Amino acid sequence: MGNVWQGEIKNEAKDGSYYWVDTTIIPFLHAKGKPYKYIAIQYNITTRKKYEEVIESMAYTDPLTQLPNRNQFTKWVESQPKKTNEIVTALFLNLDRFKAINDNYGYDAGDAILKTAANRLKGCLRETDFVSRQGGDEFIIILKNNDDEQSIREIASAILKRIGMPYVFDHKQLFTTTSIGISKDYIPSEEDSYDNFLKSLIKNANTAMYHSKRQGGNQYCFNNDHQNMVLERNYQLDLEIKEALLRNEFTVVYQPIVNLKNNRIVGAEALLRWNNRKLGLVPPNEFIPILEENGLIVPVGKWILATVCSQMKFWQEERILMQRICVNVSPIQFKDRNFIQDLKEILNETMLDASYLEIEITEGTILDIKTSSQTINDLKNLGVKVSIDNFGTGYSSLSYLKQLPIDTLKIDKSFIDDLDRDGEIIANTIISMGKNLNFRVIAEGIESEDQLDYLKKQKCHEGQGYYFSKPMDNSQITELFTQL
């Protein structure tokens, strides 16, 4: 007996269909070693093969949209010829407000939209383009046609237009749009880095997609170095800020608030500072959004409240007279379900009389009036004061605020800046209407004597700004108050 051959063979039947056989061929040999006959043993394995094909296609195809899934995408990437000096473009797509569709109309509606969107995407692409669903409402498209910027823009515009067309589900018209991030580059010359090349191409397209989202969605955006730098910086900040509380890198500074009638300091606003071992002093406008994104604003915000309340109690024991201390509270901390309970405990532990504490929230925080009015009422019941910060930059109107038991309005610095450039009308309106509604009105960011004179003429109650003092650390402000 000679060498046995074994394998699977695909045969065509007379009717044109095909069938599979598992075949073993055994050669019988002469004494000299030449085969004189073969025996073939065959099993029909068509059914098994069909199952295997289904399983294979399930592993590589997204069952909902029938698009290649992430596995197939990886396989496809590995199979690509590595031609250099050719431009490859990645488009990263994410549908806008897709979660709202699922939440409001149910998952069936969401699925129907995904299916239609996938078909529409296919309709915008050429044979050589590759589109895959990466999961959720995310799609990646790879263009390998050496496309120039103009043709990429045309494809992206066509996608935006088609995805933005109405979808019909259950006799209702639903709408969604998409945000697209685009990254294009030459295939590098070293063969083995093709995977990494595509990975970074997609990562950059993803960054650009976030940029499109942040600018309101329903648009495409090319990746550029600036976005990469912002992303890298945010990554560093996120990494470092996670240890900041443990490393005692946070401090609180205090900016005096002045009564404009008699120029006396009535209180101070507490402002958070972060001095990191690697990055140095990072401005709050940069790190507060990071704390909000990673959720750490809740424990850090608690720490600020505890620090400020015990500082205020210390001042009172030292007979330093400050009428109020104001603390900024982020919308995320404000909406945290333990916020009121945590604050109660802090007030108990520090033994600070709640009436000395004022919480500053922004207009955005109170947009959802139902939940916010509950928390504001809870604060008032504790005896804590509430002020609306950066007033005039958000969406709330004064009449809207009338429904809430608010104590203070802080006019945003931008209106005070504009006082020198005939922007009095807005500031005047806020001051006079605020006073009519019995709010205390504070002007923020006063920098010049002219601004101060004007605000005094308008009988604005209080002011804050570099004209009086920059924020100071607690020993400086203690000294300032001791001299009063």
Please report, as ranges, the residues that interact with ligand C2E according to CB under 6 A.
255, 271-272, 283-285, 288, 304, 328-330, 389-390, 445-447, 464-466, 471
Give min distance, CB of 310 to Mg ion, in A. 20
Which is nearer to ligand C2E, 184 or 410 (by Cβ)? 410
Give min distance, CB of 329 to ligand C2E, in A. 6
Give min distance, CB of 440 to ligand C2E, in A. 16
Give min distance, CB of 462 to ligand C2E, in A. 13
360 touching Mg ion, by CB under 5 A:
yes
Return the bridge partners of 254, or none: 270, 472
Which is nearer to ligand C2E, 434 or 465 (by Cβ)? 465
389 touching Mg ion, by CB under 5 A:
yes
Which is nearer to ligand C2E, 198 or 446 (by Cβ)? 446
Given the structure tokens 């960054």, which residue do they identify? Answer: 207
Six-digit token string for 377: 């009422």
Give min distance, CB of 224 to ligand C2E, in A. 27
Q: Which stretch binds Mg ion (CB under 5 A): 86-94, 160-168, 320-328, 466-474?
A: 320-328
Number of residues that bind Mg ion (CB under 5 A): 3
- The entry of Mg ion, ligand C2E, none that residue 445 binds, CB within 5 to 8 Å by partner kind: ligand C2E
Which is nearer to Mg ion, 240 or 389 (by Cβ)? 389
Q: Which stretch binds Mg ion (CB under 5 A): 21-29, 336-344, 389-397, 449-457?
A: 389-397
- The entry of ligand C2E, Mg ion, none that residue 174 binds, CB within 5 to 8 Å by partner kind: none
Give min distance, CB of 250 to ligand C2E, in A. 9
- The entry of ligand C2E, Mg ion, none that residue 284 binds, CB within 5 to 8 Å by partner kind: ligand C2E
Given the structure tokens 């309005």, which residue do they identify? Answer: 409
Q: Which stretch binds Mg ion (CB under 5 A): 114-122, 336-344, 386-394, 418-426?
A: 386-394
Which is nearer to ligand C2E, 69 or 328 (by Cβ)? 328
Given the structure tokens 């044979």, which residue do they identify? Answer: 127
- The entry of Mg ion, ligand C2E, none that residue 207 binds, CB within 5 to 8 Å by partner kind: none
Q: Which stretch binds Mg ion (CB under 5 A): 223-231, 232-240, 358-366, 380-388?
A: 358-366
- CA angle 254-257-260, nearest 5°? 165
- The entry of Mg ion, ligand C2E, none that residue 375 binds, CB within 5 to 8 Å by partner kind: none
> What is the sign, positive or negative, of the torsion defined by CA atoms of 75, 77, 81, 82?
negative
The full 3-state SS of the chain, as one line of letters, equals CCCCEEEEEEEECCCCCEEEEEEEEEEEECCCCCEEEEEEEEEECHHHHHHHHHHHHHHHECCCCCCECHHHHHHHHHHCCCCCCCEEEEEEEEECCHHHHHHHHCHHHHHHHHHHHHHHHHHHCCCCCEEEEEECCEEEEEECCCCCHHHHHHHHHHHHHHHCCCEEECCEEECCCEEEEEEEEECCCCHHHHHHHHHHHHHHHHHHHHHHHHCCCCEEEECCHHHHHHHHHHHHHHHHHCCCCCCCCEEEEEEEEEECCCCCEEEEEEEEEEEECCCEEECHHHHHHHHHHHCCHHHHHHHHHHHHHHHHHHHHHCCCCCCEEEEECCHHHHHCCCHHHHHHHHHHHHCCCHHHEEEEEEHHHHCCHHHHHHHHHHHHHHCCEEEEEEECCCCCCHHHHHCCCCCEEEECHHHHHHHHHCCHHHHHHHHHHHHHCCCEEEECCCCCHHHHHHHHHCCCCEECCCCCCCCECHHHHHHHHHHC
- The entry of ligand C2E, Mg ion, none that residue 176 binds, CB within 5 to 8 Å by partner kind: none
- The entry of ligand C2E, Mg ion, none that residue 304 binds, CB within 5 to 8 Å by partner kind: ligand C2E
Give min distance, CB of 215 to ligand C2E, in A. 22
Which is nearer to ligand C2E, 181 or 301 (by Cβ)? 301
328 touching Mg ion, by CB under 5 A:
yes
Which is nearer to ligand C2E, 129 or 462 (by Cβ)? 462
Which is nearer to ligand C2E, 304 or 431 (by Cβ)? 304
Give min distance, CB of 271 to ligand C2E, in A. 4
- The entry of ligand C2E, Mg ion, none that residue 401 binds, CB within 5 to 8 Å by partner kind: none
Give min distance, CB of 285 to ligand C2E, in A. 5
Which is nearer to Mg ion, 212 or 328 (by Cβ)? 328
Q: Which residues of 446-475 are buried (b: 16+ CB within 10 A; e: fewer)?
A: beeeebbebbeebebbbbbbeebbebbebe
Which is nearer to ligand C2E, 255 or 311 (by Cβ)? 255
* CA distances, 386 to each of 290, 339, 389, 391 (Å): 25, 14, 10, 13
- The entry of Mg ion, ligand C2E, none that residue 285 binds, CB within 5 to 8 Å by partner kind: ligand C2E
Positions that interact with Mg ion (CB under 5 A)? 328, 360, 389
